[in-house]
Amino acid sequence: MKIAFVLFDGLTFLDFAGFYDVINRLNFFEPTKGSTWETCAMTDQVTDESGLTLQVDRVKPDLGEYDMVFVPGGMGTRKLRFDEAFVGWLKQAEKVPMKVSVCTGSLLLGAAGFLSGKKATTHPNVYDLLQPYADEVIQARIVKDGNVITAGGVATSIDLGIYVLGLLAGREAAENVKRQIDYPYEMQGVIEE
């Protein structure tokens, strides 16, 4: 499993970090040993919406090289969905087997055309912004429609990481990670199509 974390200026750091902290544990489990990941962006560093600067691993790699592309949300998505260069780069992921977003990252998946004919979700405050991109906007924590998985607001990033890890490494692995990170909650609000 080769994963691209797509980062950009104005991202919400917890959207990225919550998913990353869980999913980077894939190598602990036999079915997903050998998984790799890279942070990717249009520039060699990005700044989150609070001013934290992150150095990225790769600048504008071919996103078609990956098995999973993950897109976080943040205020930067509002303008970025109209940025032709960024959306064009993201479209390289068209044939990637798994496309995943949390919060308003779904707006970027939508702008790239990946939500066409699909059910999806996003942060509860911006369901209306997602409407033009998806076949149906579902008010749920996680929506899996085929090879596209979208998730709700910021804290959902941890739920999403556990959910995706469970899909890839198995339910027992997901339960193991929940114990490792002292995550006491049961998964809720998951819609699978």
Active site residues: 103
Can you tell me the distance from the alpha carbon of 88 to that of 52, in angstroms, rounded to the nearest whole number? 26
The full DSSP string for 142-154 is: EEEETTEEEE-ST
Rg (CA), the chain: 15
- Report the alpha-carbon distance of residue 8 to residue 54 in Å, rounded: 10
> φ and ψ at 60, to 5 degrees?
45, 50
Query: How is residue 101 annotated by DSSP?
Result: E
**Burial of residue 31, with CB atoms counted within 10 A of its CB: 0-12 exposed, 13-18 middle, 19 or more buried:** exposed
Tokens 């490792």 identify what position? 180
